[in-house]
Amino acid sequence: MILEVIKADITKIEADAIVNAANSSLLGGGGVDGAIHRKGGKAILEACMVIRSKQGGCKTGEAVITTAGNLPAKFVIHTVGPVWSGESVEKDALLANCYRNSLKLAVENNLETVAFPNISTGIYHFPKDKAAEIAITTVSNFAEKGKIEKVIFVCFDDENYQLYEEKLNRINH
Ligand code: ADP
């Protein structure tokens, strides 16, 4: 599995799946969630509504998959990150679950390239350094990583980009 970091708008990424930092309603929101729904069009929201009617949304740490509508990616994997409220091993574990469960869904759907945003580091205020450490560790240790060709960490701000670059350089050298 190749690990990459880029600074970009995730809605422009051509991957088998892009991951959305959604909220448990699956009805869209601000940040990356808003951008994905806005640019992907109503097909994504419609697919989320079908999932809501079956399972009533998505719990923190879990993930669901939908069409990517008008986006260049093939699918959107929606996962719900934890809201930061101070140090907590439970919250760390929930953030790790987001990455693990998203990759599990990718494998189940035979998807080989997955792009992640920096889940929980926006409106949910998770500390960026800690979130990056959890993201990279969890993806690197994913049990079925042989089935994933490439994971792209798509950073939107310089701070996250620098954190990921440093951490990935340390792994690769
Ligand atoms: P959360 O509620 O999980 O914190 P946010 O969407 O507020 O979700 O933020 C998650 C991360 O996504 C933040 O680092 C934010 O800068 C980033 N982000 C916002 N818009 C985009 C975008 N279009 N592409 C990639 N990342 C984005």
Instruction: Give this complex's ipTM.
Output: 0.98
Residue 119 Cβ contacting ligand 1 at under 6 Å? yes
Q: Specify whether the CB–CB gap between 119 and 135 falls below 8 A.
A: yes
Cα of 107 to ligand 1 centre, how many Å?
A: 24
* Ligand 1 closest atom vs CA 160: 14
Cα of 134 to ligand 1 centre, how many Å?
A: 16
- Annotated catalytic residue: which of 9, 16, 33, 157? 33
Residue 11 Cβ contacting ligand 1 at under 6 Å? yes
Q: Which domains does the chain have, with CATH numbers?
A: 2-168 (3.40.220.10)
* Ligand 1 closest atom vs CA 31: 6
Q: What is the pLDDT of residue 88?
A: 96
Per-residue model confidence as pLDDT tens digits over 115-154: 999 999 999 999 999 999 999 999 999 999 999 999 999 9
The pair of three-digit structure tokens given for residue 127, joined into one six-digit string: 């500390």
- Enumerate residues 6+ apart whose C-beta is below 8 A from 158: 7
Mapping DSSP onto H, E and C, the string for the chain reads: CEEEEEECCHHHCCCCEEEEEECCCCCCCCHHHHHHHHHHCHHHHHHHHHHHHHHCCCCCCCEEEEECCCCCCCEEEEEECCCCCCCCHHHHHHHHHHHHHHHHHHHHCCCCEEEECCCCCCCCCCCHHHHHHHHHHHHHCCCCHHHCCEEEEEECCHHHHHHHHHHHHHHHC
For the question of residue 33 being annotated catalytic, the response is yes
Q: Report whether pLDDT(173) > 90.
A: no
Q: Specify whether the CB–CB gap between 164 and 117 falls below 8 A.
A: no
Under the banding of pLDDT at 50, 70 and 90, the label for residue 8 is very high
Under the banding of pLDDT at 50, 70 and 90, the label for residue 91 is very high
Cα of 50 to ligand 1 centre, how many Å?
A: 24
* Ligand 1 closest atom vs CA 156: 26
Nearest to 36, CA basis, from 11, 19, 12:
11
Which residue's CA is the nearest one to ligand 1's atom 26? Answer: 156
